[in-house]
Structure 1
Amino acid sequence: MKCLHRLLAALSILSLVTLGLATAACAYAVAPVSDPEAVGFSSSRLARIAAWQQSQINAGAFSGAVSAIARNGKIAYLRAVGFRDRAKTIPLQPDAIFWIASMTKPVTSVAAMMLVEEGKLDLAAPVHQYLPELKEMMVGVETTDPAGGPSKLALEPQKRPMTVEDLLRHTSGLVYPEGNTAVHKFYRDSGQYWPSYARDRTLKDLVSGLVRIPLAYQPGEVFEYGLSVEVLGRVVEVTSGQPLDQFLDSRLFKPLGMVDTAFWVPPEKLARLIDPPAGVPIRPDRDVTKPTTMFSASGGLVSTAGDYLRFCRMLLNGGELDGVRILSPATVRRMTTSALPPDIRFTSDTAVGPRGGSTFGLGFAIRTDATQSWVPGSVGSYTWNGRWGSYFWVDPAEQLIAIQLIQAGTENYDQFWTPFRNLTYGAFLIPDHGAPTAATAAIDQAALAAFEGTYRLGSPSSRDMQVPREFGGLGLDVAMEQGIVKVKSPIPGMPAAKAGIMAGDIITHLDDAATQGLSLGQAIEKMRGPVNTPVRLRIVRKGQDRPIELSLVRAQIRLQGAADLRVVSKDGQLLIEASGDLPLLDFEKGAATTVVPTSSNEFFVDGGDHTRLAFLRDGAGPMRLVLNPGPWQITGQRIN
């Protein structure tokens, strides 16, 4: 332990640490590598991560961040930015301890699968086989009055019992209190939910309280993120014969060398615990400075970037790390492959679902769509995140692990995940790519002026396709509840908000076609379309006697993460500057880069990573810009 702390103290004085993984006398020893380029990254582009995080710290989004990026078994990036305390007086160190919230869920899921491998737990078995008190849980069915009258909640028995697999894949019908259905309201009003999280309670107490609350859906029919993993943690306790903290510590944390991961922070480590976000009330279950018996299986753990990297490396290695086998390769593949039935319904289609090109396995969201995704990453990449902004993903195709730990007091955490992920993939080097050797060409000012304009590129990453960063739409965030399309929130300034559409409104028709029977993805596609085209909506609003008929005109919706380049010509030279949300390859925001011509329409950057550019036009179509033409190219077109 002393060896480990000496090592981490040495690391903390470095502004950018490039490390290789190796096992020695310490719990997890590390050895330097020469530079990130050795594992396929650009050092200068990796440094943009810290610059972006510092901008967020300056804006007050969070006080500090620790990030770790590993590839091919070596750490390419480990850096702490900002401060440990809200007053911004104590610099943050790489070994800082964070409450990782729902990044606990994958850990509990691994624990359950360890018991499956040992034959102590059956994925197909009813949960009541292990927790008999749940056998008679009923399902709440809400009936909504189409005329806008009060809804009613009826109870019906389960069509089939919830299974252990349902707990792992969030199809159990157990939900969180946040939501608009009568069952969600029941969670909030029953008095059974939050008191169960007191630090002197137990998982057994929590499960006993859930018995009094109906399931929101029939088991196996709907994916909704919720309390499933808390119940799974209790199943782990019953089948292992140990409290969850003891099982995790003896069977997972100690074997993997996760020396700082636990359900609370002991006094001798409190100096490394980052402060919670400013202005956020700290519920008792989130006060990790005190011992607890409430071992929240879905959100109770604290950890460090180094510890969680060990956990992810075990998964990426097929269940083994440094000679310690936790799971079989077959089990890891099963956990990171879609476990959802083909006819599953999604109540929200953002982090998991067809809109995001993803699905869910046994403990992880998984990218499945080869043509689109909210964020870059190979098909088969798996991920999860936590309240206050903790986030990780594993990309097996790239042999990549990335972790960002922050504590942000907002519900809009993806504003921090998306840039981190884009900047990570945007730092990949182009294989076998160097400066052109051809002689430079002379191009007159008139020819250069033909290339001027702003070019929109879908992503700063060359690794894959993503969801278009802009499209025609209404500016609505919607969810599917009990087969009904319900408005979660309108985007300020967009057509829906301007028309007075409100959270809680029910959209019953789109262009005279009923939304009943549509999937959430189908309803969203009907709301999208070319900019400046109309769409008719029929809306039911609580308290209104009659439906509301509206005609809206689709506007341009622009998502976070667009990568734009501005091209200008001056004094016989072409200058290029990043003008979107993020920098791109050799191009920064606020600093124009001069490119060198090699032909009448091709250029390169004489320095940095030697980005190559080609301007192309197909007939009368818009001018296109191709960066690094070839298998890793990024393509965009001129928008003005």
Structure 2
Amino acid sequence: MKLIQASRMAALMLCLGGVAHAADLQTVEDPDSLGFSARRLARMTSWFEAQTKKGDPSGFVVAVARGGKLAYLQPIGLADHDKAIPMRTDSIFRIGSMSKQITSVATMMLVDEGKLDLDAPVAQYLPELRDKQVVKTDPATGDAILLELEPAKRAMTIRDLLRNTSGLVYPMADYADPGFGNTAIHLLYGARAPFRRDKPIASFVASLGALPLLHQPGEVWEYAIGYDVLGRVIEVVSGQTFDKFLQSRLFAPLRMVDTGFYVPEDKLARLVAVPGAQPAPLSDGDVTKPPTFFSGGGGIVSTAPDLLRFCQMLLNDGELDGARILKPETVRLMMTNSLPPDMHVAGHEAGPAFGTGWGLGFAIRTDPNFSLIPGAVGSFNWQGSWGTFFSVDPAQKLILLMMMQRPQYRHNAFYFDAIRRLPYAALKVPEVAAPLASQPSNAALLTDYVGRYDFGGSASSLDRQIFVADGNGWTGLKSVVVETDGLKVIKPVDGGPAARAGVLAGDLITAIDDASIRGQTLEAALRRIPGPVNAKIKLKIARETQSDPVVVAFAREAVPSHSVALRIRITDGKLVVEATGAWSVLDFDKGEPTPVAALSKDEFRVEGGDHTRIKFVRDAAGKVSGAVLNPGPWEQHGALFQ
């Protein structure tokens, strides 16, 4: 039996290896042949359909590919709610900031050809950005000092534009993402360099010439307009307008037939409507007419089939169907974190606090303790402000893609959580042959196992934080920044364990569990915060209103909004298991108690379905303290949380 199972897994890995071809992404394959449970993969359809039944006007297209083959492609809901037009697999979406990855690939194509120097000053190609001035900062607070400028210590480079360390910022306007900065400099950019579809890139870049940088180049990561500047760099270097370069050099070779900067008249019937009140016009707002400003940061429209081809090209190390787009070593460089550990991060979802670095145009999973990106370290992703998301896991040869269209920045994370978790939860776990033991006849013997078990923030062993193995303890510190003497609390989570224990915004944490964190990097200090659910943590705090240090101690808790939990009880003399947290897990669904049969003392198995095994863990005193799902290489650990 073990030999047969090993052979099946070897065959599956052979299937997942090698170079994928575009034809493999056109027809949905049998999910089981690609290592998925078809039943569990179907939960995605149910989940997204449930959102439309609850009245969400957004329709969806959801896709999953593995090993270059299509495991799932499903249109759900309506493309136009008001006109009752159904969603279709080739519906066209505004992809917002997922344009950045396309622009990054285009940039690196020219680097590969020797026409663009990655470390050359941007001014070498765009003289209007020469001799930039930088806003001075107060050395004591780090705050910008308005109206005081100093010369840049060095010129911004092409690499800086790709990794968001140029010192440029996003223009602030009334539609801006609250994750972006809102200083006077951001407002100045909004007034002097607004996005307009009728304004050429050259004119837009020229307007940046008179504006100061907010940060010294190379010193701060801040999500910025560098990709729009790169569009102009590509025009200058290639001699083509940015849209024509992308069409001839990238979209046509990859046969991305519906991707561009606007939707032609003969395809308008496939354009997904944005429900509700519309934001002020942006670079990617009205896509029904050809623009003059080709926004490399947010102006592209595309479809799920086109983006699957783009992602598969990257998984294939830069090639698809004989079209070589990038050198393999270039793809590896782009997908390697380029930010040093001490890089200051200004806002958004990158940096040690998110377990996420930044390559050359892509967010990279660097630390599974904190990362929101699923899969192996080295997985890469990004999202668009209109509600599109992709993630690529090179270790599993897995592409996840979700397309929807919503007014900008409206609660998209709720849906991103689903596409992050549900496909990983559908991956099959290799079965282990084991005979069933006789069910304990005395129900009292089963009472040891009754309770709620918390498995942290993930529904899969492949999509988990390290501390899930210890119960994924959560302290409720929403935002902190590193200072010389420790971690300054910007905001604790309202009602979270830290807030309830008395931690306040403005507190400076100087020690964790009696060990000083003075002088530590943000990453090193953050590693000290997680721990097992129910485990105590003690913080020593310096507070401006008190002369003596404040010491608070409290127990870590399970993450409430992302928790994966099982409720185990006895029904009709049998042990039954039901998912009670945010997500179903393996054979266990919400609202459907599933009986398990005994394999041995402390180990049980689902008799049907995917034969999920659950083994209970006891502490030194012999008391049940946790559970392990599918013991072995794919195991998931949970803590008993009464």
TM-score, with length taken from structure 1: 0.85
What letter is aligned with 1:303?
S
CA–CA separation in structure 2 for the residues paired with 1:310 and 1:213: 38
Tell me, what secondary structure is at the counterpart of 1:419? helix
More off after superposition, 58-67 vs 381-390: 58-67
CA–CA separation in structure 2 for the residues paired with 1:455 and 1:241: 61
1:247-326 aligned within 5 A: 247-285=245-283, 286-326=285-325
CA–CA separation in structure 2 for the residues paired with 1:176 and 1:205: 17
Q: State the aligned residue count.
A: 606
2:478 corresponds to which residue?
476
1:3 corresponds to which residue?
none
CA–CA separation in structure 2 for the residues paired with 1:98 and 1:92: 11
2:613 corresponds to which residue?
612
Structure 2 residue ranges without an equivalent (≥5): 1-18, 173-177
Indicate how the Cα distance of structure 1 residues 229 and 284 shifts in structure 2: closer, same or farther if over 3 A, else same.
closer
Indicate how the Cα distance of structure 1 residues 473 and 32 shifts in structure 2: closer, same or farther if over 3 A, else same.
closer
Give the CA RMSD over aligned residues.
3.5
Shift of 1:180: 9.9
2:635 corresponds to which residue?
633
Tell me, what secondary structure is at the counterpart of 1:623? strand
Shift of 1:414: 2.6
What letter is aligned with 1:366?
I
1:184 corresponds to which residue?
183
More off after superposition, 50-59 vs 624-633: 50-59
Indicate how the Cα distance of structure 1 residues 480 and 92 shifts in structure 2: closer, same or farther if over 3 A, else same.
farther
Q: Does 1:162 align with 2:161?
A: no
Tell me, what secondary structure is at the counterpart of 2:460? coil
1:491-526 CA distance string (max 9 Å, x none): 333477789999xx7666657999996644456568
What letter is aligned with 2:582?
D
CA–CA separation in structure 2 for the residues paired with 1:112 and 1:149: 33
Indicate how the Cα distance of structure 1 residues 552 and 449 shifts in structure 2: closer, same or farther if over 3 A, else same.
closer
1:573-596 CA distance string (max 9 Å, x none): 011100111000000001100111
2:84 corresponds to which residue?
89
Is the CA contact (8 Å cut-off) linking 1:124 and 1:164 kept in structure 2?
Answer: yes
Is the CA contact (8 Å cut-off) linking 1:374 and 1:467 kept in structure 2?
Answer: no
Tell me, what secondary structure is at the counterpart of 1:560? coil
Shift of 1:617: 0.9
Is the CA contact (8 Å cut-off) linking 1:568 and 1:575 kept in structure 2?
Answer: yes
1:369 corresponds to which residue?
367
1:586 corresponds to which residue?
587
2:44 corresponds to which residue?
49
1:421-460 aligned within 5 A: 421-431=420-430, 433=431, 436-438=434-436, 440-458=438-456, 459-460=458-459
CA–CA separation in structure 2 for the residues paired with 1:638 and 1:108: 48
Tell me, what secondary structure is at the counterpart of 2:58? strand
More off after superposition, 352-361 vs 301-310: 352-361
Indicate how the Cα distance of structure 1 residues 583 and 184 shifts in structure 2: closer, same or farther if over 3 A, else same.
same
CA–CA separation in structure 2 for the residues paired with 1:495 and 1:618: 25
Tell me, what secondary structure is at the counterpart of 2:184? helix
Is the CA contact (8 Å cut-off) linking 1:475 and 1:557 kept in structure 2?
Answer: no
What letter is aligned with 2:608?
G
Selected match of 1:624 from 601, 623, 626: 626
1:15 corresponds to which residue?
none
Tell me, what secondary structure is at the counterpart of 1:166? helix
Shift of 1:488: 6.3
Indicate how the Cα distance of structure 1 residues 122 and 204 shifts in structure 2: closer, same or farther if over 3 A, else same.
same
Is the CA contact (8 Å cut-off) linking 1:67 and 1:79 kept in structure 2?
Answer: yes
CA–CA separation in structure 2 for the residues paired with 1:603 and 1:521: 40
What letter is aligned with 1:234?
R
Q: Does 1:143 align with 2:174?
A: no
What letter is aligned with 1:476?
K
Shift of 1:320: 0.6
More off after superposition, 83-92 vs 478-487: 478-487
Tell me, what secondary structure is at the counterpart of 1:388? coil
More off after superposition, 339-348 vs 356-365: 339-348
Tell me, what secondary structure is at the counterpart of 2:107? helix
Indicate how the Cα distance of structure 1 residues 441 and 481 shifts in structure 2: closer, same or farther if over 3 A, else same.
closer
Indicate how the Cα distance of structure 1 residues 150 and 124 shifts in structure 2: closer, same or farther if over 3 A, else same.
closer
Shift of 1:312: 0.5
More off after superposition, 46-55 vs 565-574: 46-55
1:88-107 aligned within 5 A: 89-107=84-102
Indicate how the Cα distance of structure 1 residues 496 and 368 shifts in structure 2: closer, same or farther if over 3 A, else same.
closer
Shift of 1:447: 0.9
2:223 corresponds to which residue?
225
1:538 corresponds to which residue?
543
1:21-100 aligned within 5 A: 30-33=26-29, 35-61=30-56, 63-87=58-82, 89-100=84-95
1:408 corresponds to which residue?
406
1:311-350 aligned within 5 A: 311-348=310-347
Is the CA contact (8 Å cut-off) linking 1:143 and 1:153 kept in structure 2?
Answer: no
CA–CA separation in structure 1 for the residues paired with 2:486 and 2:619: 45
CA–CA separation in structure 2 for the residues paired with 1:481 and 1:241: 47
CA–CA separation in structure 2 for the residues paired with 1:507 and 1:453: 37
Counting aligned pairs with the same residue, the percent is 45
What letter is aligned with 1:430?
V
1:511-526 aligned within 5 A: 519-521=521-523
More off after superposition, 571-580 vs 557-566: 557-566
1:360 corresponds to which residue?
358
Is the CA contact (8 Å cut-off) linking 1:144 and 1:152 kept in structure 2?
Answer: no
CA–CA separation in structure 2 for the residues paired with 1:278 and 1:572: 52
More off after superposition, 570-579 vs 439-448: 439-448
Shift of 1:176: 1.9
